[in-house]
Chain A
Amino acid sequence: MLISKRTFIKSFGALLGGLLLFGCRKQGEKSLSRVRPVSIPDIKKQIKEAMKNQKPLDSLVAIPVPSSLKAFPNATNRFGMAIDLDLCDGCGECVLACNLENNIPLVNEYQASKNNYMHWIELRDQIPVTCFHCGDAPCEKVCPTGAAVHSPDGVSAMVYARCAGTRFCGVNCPIKIRKFNYVDALDEGLQFISNPEVPVREQGVIEKCSLCLHRIQNARLKAKTIGKEFLGENVTTACAEACPKGAILFGNWLDPNSLLYKKARGRGVYTLSSIAPFDPSVVYFKGVR
């Protein structure tokens, strides 16, 4: 024998330990110098690619107009959106506006080839699909850390700093609209920073439509400063703002003066069949009731 057993075991142990330590080493702080600027045409290109191979859509089913949440029966707000399918022509402007508003990163070529994009709004069969902010959200029930929580305003929120990345919420979402940050987009040069109000998500957390929470909170702060009750006036989401047909409406389902509430009168209210049991806050308008 060339080496004794003892030497073999010793050197083997040292090798394993060294490899393990090497694997667990602290990665250096990410330098911003490596960031390659991402331009708006890059984003437009990926949106176009995503629109070319759209995922299939579940069937639509009629549901009643959203009313107050079970968990917060005394709340005065329940923010939500409606997408008017009679007006929507699937142009994809809302996706671009959402990407710019929320600093949504691009994906690398490998993920793009597999048709996995980070877009919070997806077009499926020409219909925009986003997080439905379910009142009885399945994702929030299974999140072990409480990073996916419901605000009393009816927003299904994500606390990025609390997310450990178990991805249970993504598994339990019936329409798989939650997106996981597989790479550090800032480090990979995939991050486009256009809106300083929205934090850049780190690698390893889930993200999804926030109903432009930063806009809601800014308006709420303003209302509080002047001492007014906040019912969601003067707020709209980026997608609703950008829609050339005015097909997307943002508003408060519990405020009778809200435009959303008024427009819902007499309209057929629909949602996807897999989402219907969970009391969604974002709905589709189609035809008349």
Chain B
Amino acid sequence: MVKKLFIVGLILLIPGIWTLFQALSIGPASWALDQSLFWGTPIVNFVFWIGLAHAGTFLSAILLILEVRFQKRISLVAELSTIAAILVASIFPLIHLGIVSRFYFLIPFFNERNIFANFSSPLIWDFVAIFVYLCISIFYIVTHLLSLKHASLLKTRKVLAWILFPLVLWVHTIVSLDFAVTTNNLWQGAYFPIYFILGALFSGLALVVFLLEVQKRRVRKIEELLIAASWLLFVFWIWEFFQKGVWHFEVVFFGFVIVQLLWIPVLRKQKAFRLFVSFSVLISMWLERYVLIIPLDIEWLPVDYGWFALGIGLFLSVFFGLYLLIQKHNPLVFYVSAEESNEKYSRKVLWGILAGAVVFALLYFALNYPLDTSVPLMNWIPVLFPLFSLFAGLSFFALGVYSVVPKKQFFLVSGLLVLILGGAFGAFYAGGDTNLGVESKIISVERVSKNNRPVKDLWASRCASCHGLKGEGNRKFIYEFYPEIQDLTLERLNSQGEDSLTQVVLKGRAFMNPFEGRVSEPEARALIRYMYQLAEEKE
């Protein structure tokens, strides 16, 4: 069964990759959007898959903290589904960008040029929160797998669960804020975070029911949780109806009416029926997001259908691929769980790491905070906790792994990681070339400048605003924006040479802007000769 589903996932990936190719090469025009509907099916799928990702954490981490007994039987499946679902979910917002190669503009990273991301935008919170969530989920599952051999890691697992518990609520609250902070009346409401979190849990529970059935196992408690969650969501649907007049029969039918059939023992015993209910819940939750984000009737394009193939195909192939890989090494891992350990971290270590996390978060703000910002400090808080948990989670994970892995190996791998991350950090901080190249050139100006203008006019129109008509510098303008410019002397011009100065005009240097595209190369050369003329006149 597992192998079959893995193959199904791989086969679904073929139309999925085609969809990806279409979406990347054509851009947002390839799926159904227009000038009044800017968010389409990729966002629907993103919210759906990120919701599925939360259930894994809920069933593994939160139940571990609450010391629920059936947690042991489902934790690894739940954790694996989290990893696979986050991977799927994180693809959609990236594809959805107008210019995918500019995705890194959304990383709230301090840089040399003081161009900061806008912290009042929920998308920045999203980016940070989901990235941190993915990291800690990976730490969590790796700890789980290692703890099967080394029981001392169980205490690390418990600490990571404590970090994940609030984080999962935090992440989905932020996802709901993407909608709740807008001016759209249908998306507003203080209840949105809870509504979204419940929806995520509901769909995630349904997914876990399906994944357990694949293993030919059944956990009755989850079915009961499913019924409970359906009632809670039903309350919200009624609330939405009275508040906003929103009522979607198909969502309620698939998400509430059908789930109630689980009360009937005869039906509940049937495997096929349990699978039917779990799919019905998944359909309902997808529809719920769809009607929320796309309230109008729109005409679907092929890519809109392709997202299903991409999402399901990638999920199945990643989940069952990892499943098979893990099972190969440890065939019983999905059925046996390690014993609980009562070991605990010493207070000193706990407080040390917490203090470190606070210092790290504050340092991040201090480095990132531009002095002239108009963004209130309140808007930074949503990224505070994810950063805090990233530091704490990484520290506990490193501590735990350090205690079980051979020292040489540990230092080799962590040293390599630090090198790579440090290099990336430095590269990001320095930033790239500011000459944006062909894509941002003002194409039309090139055409205009092709007729041979007298060089004096060219100087007056292009250079004089900063350098002055006689090369003396336009003090009034420069004083506001730039440091003082160099004196124009023959000696200085000769020391640089005509060729290199031409390149300076075209490519720019320090505070000099690049003029490539605005003046042609012969024109630039003519301008340099004109500078010689001006310098001679001056002397």
Contacts and interface: CB of A to CB of B under 8 A. Distances in A.
B342 interface: no
Contacts of B436: 161
A167 B444 CA distance: 27
A274 B98 CA distance: 27
A2 to B, nearest CB: 15
Contacts of A260: none
A110 to B, nearest CB: 9
A191 to B, nearest CB: 9
A129 B515 CA distance: 37
A256 interface: no
A221 B464 CA distance: 11
B477 A168 contact: no
A13 to B, nearest CB: 9
A34 to B, nearest CB: 13
Interface stretch (A60-68, A77-85, A135-143): A135-143
Interface in B39-71: 39
A146 interface: yes
9 contacts: A16-B13, A111-B34, A118-B35, A142-B121, A162-B115, A171-B182, A199-B442, A202-B440, A274-B183
A27 B182 CA distance: 35
Interface string A213-232: 00000000100110100000
A161 B476 contact: no
Interface stretch (B23-31, B194-202, B404-412): B23-31
Given A160-B440, A166-B106, A172 B116 contact: no
Interface stretch (A86-94, A180-188, A233-241, A247-255): A180-188
Contacts of B495: none
A145 B106 contact: yes
Interface size class of B (residues with CB under 8 A): 35 or more
Contacts of B124: 144
Interface in B3-49: 10, 13-14, 17-18, 20-21, 24-25, 27-29, 33-36, 38-39
The 6 A-B pairs with the shortest beta carbon distances in the complex, nearest first, are A165-B98, A204-B98, A23-B21, A167-B38, A144-B123, A182-B29
A224 B38 contact: no
Which of A168, A224, A274 counts the most B-chain CB atoms under 10 A from its CB?
A: A168
A144 B118 contact: yes
A170 B27 CA distance: 17
Contacts of A23: 17, 20-21, 24-25
B445 A204 contact: no
A164 B124 CA distance: 13
B444 A193 contact: yes
A22 B17 CA distance: 10
Contact of A182 (B33, B102, B465): B33
B440 A163 contact: no
Contacts of B239: none
Contacts of B98: 163-167, 180-181, 203-206
A200 interface: yes
Contacts of B476: 224-225, 227
Contact of A186 (B29, B35, B36, B443): B443
A270 interface: no
A142 B122 contact: yes
Contacts of B28: 165, 167, 180, 182, 204
B267 interface: no
Contact of A164 (B39, B105, B182, B447): B105
Contacts of A142: 120-123, 181-182
Interface in B158-207: 181-184
A202 B100 CA distance: 13
Given A32-B443, A111-B34, A142-B121, A16 B17 contact: yes
Contacts of B266: none
Contacts of A71: 374
Contacts of B13: 16
A19 B106 CA distance: 27
Contacts of B103: 164
A166 B95 CA distance: 10
B97 A165 contact: yes
A103 B445 CA distance: 13
A108 B272 CA distance: 49
A146 B117 contact: yes
B35 A200 contact: no
Contacts of A288: none
B442 A196 contact: yes
Contacts of B96: 166-167
Given A146-B116, A161-B436, A196-B448, A204 B99 contact: yes
A114 B297 CA distance: 13
B474 interface: yes
Nearest to A108: B29
B443 A205 contact: no
B341 to A, nearest CB: 39
Contact of B105 (A27, A103, A141, A145): A145
Contacts of A16: 13-14, 17
Given A23-B24, A164-B105, A141 B120 contact: yes
B457 to A, nearest CB: 15
B413 interface: no
A116 interface: yes
A164 B106 contact: yes
A20 to B, nearest CB: 6
A7 B105 CA distance: 41
A230 B482 CA distance: 20
A199 B518 CA distance: 12
Given A16-B13, A166-B97, A225-B476, 13 more contacts: A141-B120, A144-B105, A168-B123, A180-B35, A180-B38, A183-B27, A193-B443, A196-B442, A196-B447, A199-B440, A200-B444, A224-B477, A224-B480
A109 interface: no
A172 B477 contact: no
B438 interface: yes
Given A144-B123, A145-B118, A166-B98, A161 B440 contact: yes
Interface in B105-137: 105-106, 115-118, 120-124, 127
A176 B183 CA distance: 11
